[in-house]
Amino acid sequence: MANNQAKSVIIFATAYLPLVGGAEIAVDEITKKLPDWQFDLITAKIKPGLKKEERINNVNIYRLGRGSRLDKFLLPLSGFLKAVRLNKKRKYSIIWSLMASQASIGAVFFKIFYPSKRLLLNIQEGDPEDYLKRYVLDIDFLYKVLIRPWHLLSLRKADYITALSLALKRRVLLSGARAPIEIVPNGVDIEKFKVQSSKFKVIGQKLKLKLGIKENEKVIITISRLVKKNGIDDLVKAIQELTCPPRYAKCCGRGIKNQSARLATRSVAGGELRIKLLIIGSGQDEKKLKDLVKKLDLENSILFLGGILHQDLPQYLALADVFVRPSLSEGLGNVFLEAMAAGLPIIGTPVGGILDFLKDGETGLFCRIKNPKSIAEKIKEILSDDRLREKLIQNGQKLAEEKYSWDIIARQMEKIFKKI
Protein backbone atom coordinates (compact mmCIF):
# COMPACT_ATOMS: atom_id res chain seq x y z
CA MET A 1 0.00 0.00 0.00
CA ALA A 2 2.77 2.43 0.88
CA ASN A 3 4.36 1.92 -2.52
CA ASN A 4 1.05 2.64 -4.30
CA GLN A 5 0.56 5.82 -2.31
CA ALA A 6 4.10 6.97 -3.09
CA LYS A 7 3.21 6.68 -6.78
CA SER A 8 -0.15 8.43 -6.55
CA VAL A 9 -0.48 11.79 -8.30
CA ILE A 10 -3.38 14.22 -8.38
CA ILE A 11 -3.44 16.51 -11.42
CA PHE A 12 -5.14 19.91 -11.54
CA ALA A 13 -5.96 21.08 -15.09
CA THR A 14 -8.32 23.88 -16.13
CA ALA A 15 -9.26 21.88 -19.26
CA TYR A 16 -8.65 18.31 -20.41
CA LEU A 17 -9.45 15.85 -23.18
CA PRO A 18 -11.42 15.81 -25.38
CA LEU A 19 -10.66 19.55 -25.25
CA VAL A 20 -7.28 19.49 -26.95
CA GLY A 21 -4.25 21.69 -26.42
CA GLY A 22 -0.55 21.15 -25.91
CA ALA A 23 -0.86 20.62 -22.15
CA GLU A 24 -3.70 18.12 -22.51
CA ILE A 25 -1.79 16.07 -25.09
CA ALA A 26 1.31 16.17 -22.87
CA VAL A 27 -0.50 14.75 -19.84
CA ASP A 28 -2.11 12.00 -21.91
CA GLU A 29 1.15 10.98 -23.57
CA ILE A 30 3.27 11.11 -20.41
CA THR A 31 0.80 9.22 -18.22
CA LYS A 32 0.31 6.50 -20.86
CA LYS A 33 4.00 5.75 -20.64
CA LEU A 34 4.03 5.53 -16.82
CA PRO A 35 1.72 2.57 -16.11
CA ASP A 36 3.17 1.99 -12.63
CA TRP A 37 1.86 5.36 -11.45
CA GLN A 38 -1.69 6.22 -10.48
CA PHE A 39 -3.11 9.48 -11.86
CA ASP A 40 -6.34 11.24 -10.95
CA LEU A 41 -7.20 14.50 -12.73
CA ILE A 42 -9.54 17.28 -11.63
CA THR A 43 -10.74 19.67 -14.31
CA ALA A 44 -13.60 21.99 -15.28
CA LYS A 45 -16.34 20.42 -17.39
CA ILE A 46 -16.68 23.56 -19.59
CA LYS A 47 -18.77 21.84 -22.31
CA PRO A 48 -22.13 20.09 -21.88
CA GLY A 49 -22.32 16.43 -22.78
CA LEU A 50 -18.95 15.45 -21.31
CA LYS A 51 -18.95 12.74 -18.66
CA LYS A 52 -18.52 13.83 -15.06
CA GLU A 53 -16.22 10.87 -14.45
CA GLU A 54 -14.35 8.62 -16.84
CA ARG A 55 -10.99 6.97 -17.41
CA ILE A 56 -8.93 7.90 -20.47
CA ASN A 57 -5.86 5.70 -20.85
CA ASN A 58 -4.01 5.90 -17.50
CA VAL A 59 -5.93 8.83 -15.99
CA ASN A 60 -9.11 8.92 -13.89
CA ILE A 61 -10.88 12.16 -14.82
CA TYR A 62 -13.25 14.15 -12.60
CA ARG A 63 -15.02 17.00 -14.43
CA LEU A 64 -16.59 19.63 -12.20
CA GLY A 65 -19.38 22.05 -13.07
CA ARG A 66 -22.41 22.07 -15.35
CA GLY A 67 -20.72 22.41 -18.71
CA SER A 68 -20.23 26.14 -19.20
CA ARG A 69 -17.33 28.59 -19.26
CA LEU A 70 -18.25 29.57 -15.70
CA ASP A 71 -16.97 26.16 -14.52
CA LYS A 72 -13.32 27.16 -14.73
CA PHE A 73 -13.85 30.23 -12.57
CA LEU A 74 -15.42 28.05 -9.87
CA LEU A 75 -12.66 25.46 -10.20
CA PRO A 76 -10.29 26.87 -7.53
CA LEU A 77 -12.85 26.09 -4.79
CA SER A 78 -14.67 23.12 -6.35
CA GLY A 79 -11.36 21.51 -7.36
CA PHE A 80 -9.90 21.92 -3.90
CA LEU A 81 -12.95 20.36 -2.23
CA LYS A 82 -13.00 17.46 -4.68
CA ALA A 83 -9.28 16.82 -4.07
CA VAL A 84 -9.83 16.71 -0.29
CA ARG A 85 -12.55 14.07 -0.76
CA LEU A 86 -10.44 11.98 -3.16
CA ASN A 87 -7.38 12.18 -0.92
CA LYS A 88 -9.17 10.34 1.88
CA LYS A 89 -8.92 7.22 -0.27
CA ARG A 90 -5.88 7.89 -2.48
CA LYS A 91 -3.42 9.59 -0.09
CA TYR A 92 -1.63 11.45 -2.89
CA SER A 93 2.08 12.19 -2.59
CA ILE A 94 2.37 14.64 -5.52
CA ILE A 95 0.17 17.50 -6.71
CA TRP A 96 0.78 18.17 -10.42
CA SER A 97 -0.66 21.49 -11.61
CA LEU A 98 -0.85 22.38 -15.30
CA MET A 99 -0.10 26.05 -15.92
CA ALA A 100 -0.61 29.01 -13.61
CA SER A 101 -4.36 29.21 -14.22
CA GLN A 102 -7.64 28.69 -12.37
CA ALA A 103 -6.80 25.05 -11.66
CA SER A 104 -3.46 25.97 -10.10
CA ILE A 105 -5.24 28.07 -7.46
CA GLY A 106 -7.14 24.96 -6.39
CA ALA A 107 -3.83 23.07 -6.33
CA VAL A 108 -2.34 25.74 -4.05
CA PHE A 109 -5.31 25.55 -1.67
CA PHE A 110 -4.82 21.76 -1.54
CA LYS A 111 -1.08 22.24 -0.89
CA ILE A 112 -1.77 24.69 1.96
CA PHE A 113 -4.26 22.24 3.47
CA TYR A 114 -1.75 19.35 3.13
CA PRO A 115 1.69 21.02 3.38
CA SER A 116 3.60 17.71 3.30
CA LYS A 117 2.44 17.00 -0.26
CA ARG A 118 4.80 18.18 -2.99
CA LEU A 119 3.45 20.68 -5.54
CA LEU A 120 4.85 20.32 -9.06
CA LEU A 121 3.89 23.21 -11.33
CA ASN A 122 4.08 22.82 -15.10
CA ILE A 123 4.39 26.11 -17.05
CA GLN A 124 3.10 25.90 -20.65
CA GLU A 125 1.68 29.35 -21.31
CA GLY A 126 2.31 30.59 -24.84
CA ASP A 127 0.41 33.84 -24.40
CA PRO A 128 2.16 36.88 -22.93
CA GLU A 129 1.20 37.56 -19.31
CA ASP A 130 -0.69 40.71 -20.36
CA TYR A 131 -3.20 38.38 -22.06
CA LEU A 132 -4.69 37.77 -18.61
CA LYS A 133 -5.84 41.40 -18.54
CA ARG A 134 -8.75 40.44 -20.78
CA TYR A 135 -10.53 39.10 -17.69
CA VAL A 136 -10.70 42.66 -16.26
CA LEU A 137 -11.34 44.61 -19.48
CA ASP A 138 -7.60 45.35 -19.92
CA ILE A 139 -7.62 47.65 -16.88
CA ASP A 140 -4.12 47.63 -15.34
CA PHE A 141 -5.22 48.47 -11.79
CA LEU A 142 -7.80 45.68 -11.68
CA TYR A 143 -5.31 43.24 -13.16
CA LYS A 144 -2.71 44.04 -10.50
CA VAL A 145 -5.26 43.73 -7.69
CA LEU A 146 -7.52 40.89 -8.83
CA ILE A 147 -5.53 38.70 -11.25
CA ARG A 148 -1.75 38.98 -10.86
CA PRO A 149 -1.55 38.00 -7.16
CA TRP A 150 -3.40 34.75 -7.86
CA HIS A 151 -1.30 34.14 -10.98
CA LEU A 152 1.90 34.46 -8.94
CA LEU A 153 0.64 32.43 -5.98
CA SER A 154 1.23 29.03 -7.57
CA LEU A 155 4.69 30.06 -8.76
CA ARG A 156 5.69 30.96 -5.21
CA LYS A 157 4.07 27.97 -3.51
CA ALA A 158 5.45 25.33 -5.87
CA ASP A 159 8.08 22.88 -4.61
CA TYR A 160 9.34 22.21 -8.14
CA ILE A 161 8.62 23.82 -11.52
CA THR A 162 8.92 22.52 -15.07
CA ALA A 163 8.87 24.95 -18.01
CA LEU A 164 8.48 24.10 -21.68
CA SER A 165 11.32 26.30 -22.87
CA LEU A 166 14.18 28.53 -21.84
CA ALA A 167 12.01 31.59 -22.50
CA LEU A 168 9.35 30.35 -20.08
CA LYS A 169 11.99 29.48 -17.49
CA ARG A 170 13.23 33.08 -17.65
CA ARG A 171 9.66 34.37 -17.26
CA VAL A 172 9.17 32.21 -14.18
CA LEU A 173 12.41 33.46 -12.62
CA LEU A 174 11.40 37.07 -13.25
CA SER A 175 8.12 36.35 -11.46
CA GLY A 176 9.98 35.60 -8.25
CA ALA A 177 9.69 31.80 -8.13
CA ARG A 178 12.05 30.22 -5.60
CA ALA A 179 11.61 26.53 -6.41
CA PRO A 180 14.03 24.54 -8.58
CA ILE A 181 13.12 24.94 -12.26
CA GLU A 182 13.77 22.37 -14.98
CA ILE A 183 13.06 22.63 -18.71
CA VAL A 184 10.83 19.78 -19.88
CA PRO A 185 9.46 20.39 -23.37
CA ASN A 186 6.35 18.85 -24.81
CA GLY A 187 6.96 16.09 -27.31
CA VAL A 188 5.61 14.47 -30.43
CA ASP A 189 4.39 10.98 -31.33
CA ILE A 190 7.09 10.25 -33.89
CA GLU A 191 5.44 7.19 -35.44
CA LYS A 192 2.07 8.88 -35.70
CA PHE A 193 3.41 11.89 -37.56
CA LYS A 194 5.79 10.17 -39.96
CA VAL A 195 4.06 10.65 -43.29
CA GLN A 196 6.53 9.26 -45.79
CA SER A 197 4.60 5.98 -45.93
CA SER A 198 2.50 5.24 -49.00
CA LYS A 199 -0.61 5.11 -46.77
CA PHE A 200 -0.38 8.79 -45.86
CA LYS A 201 0.59 9.82 -49.37
CA VAL A 202 -2.51 8.10 -50.78
CA ILE A 203 -4.70 9.75 -48.11
CA GLY A 204 -3.04 13.07 -48.91
CA GLN A 205 -3.89 12.75 -52.60
CA LYS A 206 -7.53 11.96 -51.78
CA LEU A 207 -7.68 14.96 -49.47
CA LYS A 208 -6.29 17.18 -52.21
CA LEU A 209 -9.12 16.12 -54.50
CA LYS A 210 -11.67 16.65 -51.74
CA LEU A 211 -10.33 20.15 -50.99
CA GLY A 212 -10.08 21.10 -54.66
CA ILE A 213 -6.28 21.49 -54.59
CA LYS A 214 -4.80 21.29 -58.09
CA GLU A 215 -1.73 19.22 -58.92
CA ASN A 216 0.39 22.28 -59.71
CA GLU A 217 -0.49 24.12 -56.48
CA LYS A 218 1.99 24.30 -53.62
CA VAL A 219 0.31 23.83 -50.24
CA ILE A 220 1.21 26.00 -47.25
CA ILE A 221 -0.31 24.88 -43.96
CA THR A 222 -0.73 26.46 -40.56
CA ILE A 223 -2.34 24.87 -37.49
CA SER A 224 -3.15 27.55 -34.95
CA ARG A 225 -5.67 29.06 -32.63
CA LEU A 226 -7.05 31.97 -34.59
CA VAL A 227 -5.92 34.63 -32.14
CA LYS A 228 -3.71 37.68 -32.46
CA LYS A 229 -0.57 36.12 -30.97
CA ASN A 230 -0.29 33.52 -33.75
CA GLY A 231 0.09 36.12 -36.52
CA ILE A 232 -2.27 34.49 -39.01
CA ASP A 233 -3.20 37.89 -40.45
CA ASP A 234 0.46 38.35 -41.42
CA LEU A 235 0.45 34.93 -43.10
CA VAL A 236 -2.67 35.86 -45.09
CA LYS A 237 -0.97 39.03 -46.28
CA ALA A 238 2.11 36.98 -47.19
CA ILE A 239 -0.06 34.86 -49.49
CA GLN A 240 -1.11 38.06 -51.22
CA GLU A 241 2.58 38.90 -51.63
CA LEU A 242 3.18 35.51 -53.24
CA THR A 243 0.16 35.45 -55.53
CA CYS A 244 0.08 39.14 -56.34
CA PRO A 245 3.09 41.33 -55.41
CA PRO A 246 2.35 45.02 -54.63
CA ARG A 247 3.37 46.27 -58.06
CA TYR A 248 0.50 44.25 -59.55
CA ALA A 249 -2.06 45.25 -56.89
CA LYS A 250 -4.07 47.47 -59.23
CA CYS A 251 -5.11 44.47 -61.27
CA CYS A 252 -5.04 41.83 -58.58
CA GLY A 253 -7.68 42.02 -55.90
CA ARG A 254 -8.69 45.67 -56.38
CA GLY A 255 -11.71 45.51 -58.55
CA ILE A 256 -10.94 42.72 -61.01
CA LYS A 257 -13.50 39.98 -60.44
CA ASN A 258 -12.71 38.00 -63.59
CA GLN A 259 -11.00 34.81 -62.42
CA SER A 260 -8.98 34.18 -65.59
CA ALA A 261 -7.69 37.76 -65.62
CA ARG A 262 -6.63 37.48 -62.00
CA LEU A 263 -4.83 34.18 -62.60
CA ALA A 264 -3.09 35.57 -65.65
CA THR A 265 -1.85 38.49 -63.59
CA ARG A 266 -0.52 36.14 -60.91
CA SER A 267 1.23 34.09 -63.57
CA VAL A 268 3.12 37.16 -64.74
CA ALA A 269 3.91 38.13 -61.15
CA GLY A 270 5.05 34.76 -59.87
CA GLY A 271 5.91 32.57 -62.84
CA GLU A 272 4.36 29.11 -62.45
CA LEU A 273 4.03 29.39 -58.67
CA ARG A 274 0.53 28.54 -57.49
CA ILE A 275 -0.21 28.69 -53.76
CA LYS A 276 -2.96 27.27 -51.56
CA LEU A 277 -2.96 28.10 -47.86
CA LEU A 278 -4.75 25.72 -45.47
CA ILE A 279 -5.70 27.27 -42.12
CA ILE A 280 -6.59 24.65 -39.51
CA GLY A 281 -8.01 25.89 -36.22
CA SER A 282 -10.65 28.15 -34.75
CA GLY A 283 -10.68 31.13 -32.43
CA GLN A 284 -11.95 34.60 -31.70
CA ASP A 285 -10.29 36.17 -34.76
CA GLU A 286 -11.86 33.79 -37.28
CA LYS A 287 -14.40 36.27 -38.69
CA LYS A 288 -11.79 39.04 -38.82
CA LEU A 289 -9.43 36.79 -40.78
CA LYS A 290 -12.13 35.67 -43.20
CA ASP A 291 -13.04 39.31 -43.80
CA LEU A 292 -9.38 40.06 -44.51
CA VAL A 293 -9.20 37.19 -47.01
CA LYS A 294 -12.30 38.53 -48.75
CA LYS A 295 -10.95 42.09 -48.77
CA LEU A 296 -7.70 40.92 -50.38
CA ASP A 297 -9.65 38.81 -52.89
CA LEU A 298 -7.89 35.61 -51.81
CA GLU A 299 -10.86 33.26 -51.40
CA ASN A 300 -9.49 30.99 -54.12
CA SER A 301 -6.07 30.81 -52.49
CA ILE A 302 -6.96 30.29 -48.82
CA LEU A 303 -9.11 27.59 -47.20
CA PHE A 304 -10.38 27.75 -43.61
CA LEU A 305 -10.80 24.15 -42.45
CA GLY A 306 -11.84 24.84 -38.85
CA GLY A 307 -10.88 22.56 -35.98
CA ILE A 308 -9.52 19.15 -36.98
CA LEU A 309 -9.21 16.19 -34.61
CA HIS A 310 -5.63 15.86 -33.43
CA GLN A 311 -5.53 12.25 -34.64
CA ASP A 312 -6.32 13.46 -38.18
CA LEU A 313 -3.57 16.10 -38.39
CA PRO A 314 -0.93 13.77 -39.95
CA GLN A 315 -2.94 13.34 -43.14
CA TYR A 316 -3.27 17.12 -43.57
CA LEU A 317 0.44 17.59 -42.98
CA ALA A 318 1.05 14.84 -45.55
CA LEU A 319 -0.39 16.91 -48.39
CA ALA A 320 1.47 20.13 -47.49
CA ASP A 321 4.79 21.51 -48.74
CA VAL A 322 5.62 24.02 -45.99
CA PHE A 323 4.43 24.68 -42.43
CA VAL A 324 4.28 28.31 -41.27
CA ARG A 325 3.28 30.01 -38.03
CA PRO A 326 4.51 33.62 -37.68
CA SER A 327 3.86 33.86 -33.91
CA LEU A 328 4.13 37.05 -31.89
CA SER A 329 4.73 34.94 -28.75
CA GLU A 330 5.11 31.21 -28.15
CA GLY A 331 5.65 28.97 -25.12
CA LEU A 332 7.05 26.19 -27.30
CA GLY A 333 4.72 25.36 -30.19
CA ASN A 334 3.91 21.62 -30.27
CA VAL A 335 2.63 21.83 -33.80
CA PHE A 336 6.06 22.91 -35.09
CA LEU A 337 7.48 19.67 -33.66
CA GLU A 338 4.67 17.64 -35.24
CA ALA A 339 5.30 19.28 -38.62
CA MET A 340 9.03 18.52 -38.33
CA ALA A 341 8.31 14.88 -37.46
CA ALA A 342 5.95 14.73 -40.43
CA GLY A 343 8.74 15.75 -42.80
CA LEU A 344 7.77 19.36 -43.45
CA PRO A 345 10.16 22.31 -43.57
CA ILE A 346 9.04 24.92 -41.04
CA ILE A 347 9.02 28.71 -40.90
CA GLY A 348 8.63 30.57 -37.60
CA THR A 349 9.56 33.76 -35.83
CA PRO A 350 12.48 34.11 -33.37
CA VAL A 351 10.27 34.38 -30.28
CA GLY A 352 9.78 32.41 -27.05
CA GLY A 353 10.24 28.65 -27.14
CA ILE A 354 10.66 28.52 -30.93
CA LEU A 355 14.27 29.52 -30.35
CA ASP A 356 14.85 26.21 -28.52
CA PHE A 357 14.39 24.07 -31.66
CA LEU A 358 14.48 26.27 -34.75
CA LYS A 359 18.03 26.96 -35.92
CA ASP A 360 17.89 29.24 -38.94
CA GLY A 361 18.99 27.44 -42.10
CA GLU A 362 19.39 24.16 -40.22
CA THR A 363 16.06 22.97 -38.78
CA GLY A 364 13.87 25.69 -40.29
CA LEU A 365 13.83 29.30 -41.42
CA PHE A 366 13.14 32.41 -39.38
CA CYS A 367 10.92 35.15 -40.76
CA ARG A 368 10.66 38.59 -39.23
CA ILE A 369 7.87 39.36 -36.77
CA LYS A 370 4.78 41.08 -38.22
CA ASN A 371 6.37 41.18 -41.66
CA PRO A 372 4.30 39.55 -44.46
CA LYS A 373 6.98 40.28 -47.05
CA SER A 374 9.58 38.38 -44.99
CA ILE A 375 7.18 35.42 -44.61
CA ALA A 376 6.60 35.37 -48.37
CA GLU A 377 10.34 35.48 -49.08
CA LYS A 378 11.02 32.51 -46.78
CA ILE A 379 8.22 30.46 -48.33
CA LYS A 380 9.62 31.22 -51.79
CA GLU A 381 13.13 30.31 -50.65
CA ILE A 382 12.03 26.84 -49.52
CA LEU A 383 9.89 26.18 -52.59
CA SER A 384 12.63 27.22 -55.01
CA ASP A 385 15.61 25.46 -53.38
CA ASP A 386 15.31 21.67 -53.28
CA ARG A 387 18.64 21.19 -51.50
CA LEU A 388 17.66 23.59 -48.71
CA ARG A 389 14.24 21.99 -48.41
CA GLU A 390 15.70 18.50 -48.06
CA LYS A 391 18.26 19.70 -45.51
CA LEU A 392 15.56 21.30 -43.34
CA ILE A 393 13.39 18.18 -43.55
CA GLN A 394 16.17 15.77 -42.58
CA ASN A 395 17.51 17.93 -39.75
CA GLY A 396 14.03 18.62 -38.42
CA GLN A 397 13.05 14.95 -38.33
CA LYS A 398 16.33 14.00 -36.68
CA LEU A 399 15.88 16.66 -33.97
CA ALA A 400 12.27 15.59 -33.30
CA GLU A 401 13.29 11.95 -32.91
CA GLU A 402 16.38 12.57 -30.77
CA LYS A 403 15.03 15.23 -28.41
CA TYR A 404 11.23 15.43 -28.54
CA SER A 405 9.97 11.84 -28.55
CA TRP A 406 7.32 11.29 -25.85
CA ASP A 407 9.34 8.31 -24.58
CA ILE A 408 12.20 10.68 -23.72
CA ILE A 409 9.88 13.27 -22.15
CA ALA A 410 8.05 10.65 -20.05
CA ARG A 411 11.33 9.32 -18.64
CA GLN A 412 12.38 12.86 -17.73
CA MET A 413 9.08 13.47 -15.95
CA GLU A 414 9.28 10.19 -14.04
CA LYS A 415 12.72 11.18 -12.74
CA ILE A 416 11.19 14.43 -11.46
CA PHE A 417 8.29 12.59 -9.79
CA LYS A 418 10.76 10.35 -7.98
CA LYS A 419 13.03 13.26 -7.09
CA ILE A 420 10.30 15.31 -5.37
Its domain, for residue 221, covers: 190-403
Give me the pLDDT at residue 252, please: 52
> Does residue 258 sit in the same domain as residue 363?
yes
Give me the pLDDT at residue 365, please: 98
Give pTM, 2 decimals: 0.87
Give me the pLDDT at residue 175, please: 85
> Does residue 266 sit in the same domain as residue 390?
yes
Give me the pLDDT at residue 114, please: 97
Give me the pLDDT at residue 143, please: 65
CATH code at 327? 3.40.50.2000
Pairing of strands 274-280, 346-348: unpaired
Query: Helix, strand, or coil here: 282?
Result: coil
What is the Cα–Cα distance from 229 to 252, expressed in whole angstroms? Answer: 29
> Does residue 172 sit in the same domain as residue 276?
no
Q: Which residues lie across from 61 on neighbouring strands?
A: 41, 54
Structural domain total, the chain: 2
Whether the CB-CB separation of 11 and 98 falls below 8 Å is answered with yes
Give me the pLDDT at residue 253, please: 46
Pairing of strands 302-306, 274-280: parallel
> Does residue 107 sit in the same domain as residue 246?
no
Give me the pLDDT at residue 46, please: 94
> Does residue 173 sit in the same domain as residue 321?
no
> Does residue 103 sit in the same domain as residue 84?
yes
Give me the pLDDT at residue 250, please: 46
Give me the pLDDT at residue 19, please: 86
What is the Cα–Cα distance from 231 to 330, expressed in whole angstroms? Answer: 11
Give me the pLDDT at residue 35, please: 95
C-alpha distance from residue 186 to each of 152, 332, 338, 401, 417 (Å):
23, 8, 11, 13, 16
pLDDT below 50 — which residues of the chain? 1-3, 247-251, 253-270
> Does residue 303 sit in the same domain as residue 207?
yes
